[in-house]
Amino acid sequence: MANVLAIGLDDERAPPPGNWLVARDATQFRALLEDHKPMAISFDHDLGSDKRGAEPLSGQHCIQQLIDDAIDRPAAFDQLRLVVLHSANPVGRANMRGLLEIAQRHDILPSVRLVELPVTSHPLTTWRIA
């Protein structure tokens, strides 16, 4: 399992500068979680639609995947310190925040700090993680 600075989940936006791996959908996100030990993960909620126009799994599903994996494989997330919500969808953002907050109340991902970015139409390239 390789260490990586950050994973960004977004179907359209470019990642911030730095050592980011990008997942454009839930399948890619799951694969990155299986192969890497991230220090930060940034989540969009709405991940577009498939060729038939069907809604794919959302960032909310991916947050739940992260939590489930942290329960099953806690050592894989011992370096994770930051979760960023950059979704412009206020309901989706609130749902993702709620899932992480509930998990942390049960001592799952307790070392993770949650940050919410204001997002309009600008790309994520304007911010950096330190």
How buried is residue 29: exposed, middle or buried, by Cβ count under 10 Å (0-12/13-18/19+)?
buried
Report yes or no: 43 and 96 within 8 Å, Cβ to Cβ.
Answer: yes
Kindly report the CATH number assigned to the domain that includes residue 98: 3.40.50
Give the residue-averaged pLDDT of 61-82.
96
pLDDT for res 122: 47
Closest alpha carbon to 82 in 126, 43, 44:
43
> Which structure tokens are listed for 33?
């979680």
- Residue 81 reports pLDDT greater than 50: yes
Please measure the distance between the N-terminal and C-terminal CA atoms of the chain and give it in whole angstroms.
23
Look-up: residue for tokens 């204001």?
A: 118
Whole-number Å distance between alpha carbons of 86 and 88? 7
Domain count, the chain: 1
Q: Residue 12 gets which letter from DSSP?
A: S
Among 11-20, 31-40, 65-74, name the one with the lowest average pLDDT: 11-20
Residue range(s) defining the domain that contains residue 120: 2-126
- Residue 24 banded pLDDT, cuts 50, 70, 90: very high
pTM for this model (two decimals)? 0.86
φ and ψ at residue 63, rounded to 5 degrees: -60, -45
Taking 70 as the threshold, does the pLDDT of residue 130 lie above it? no
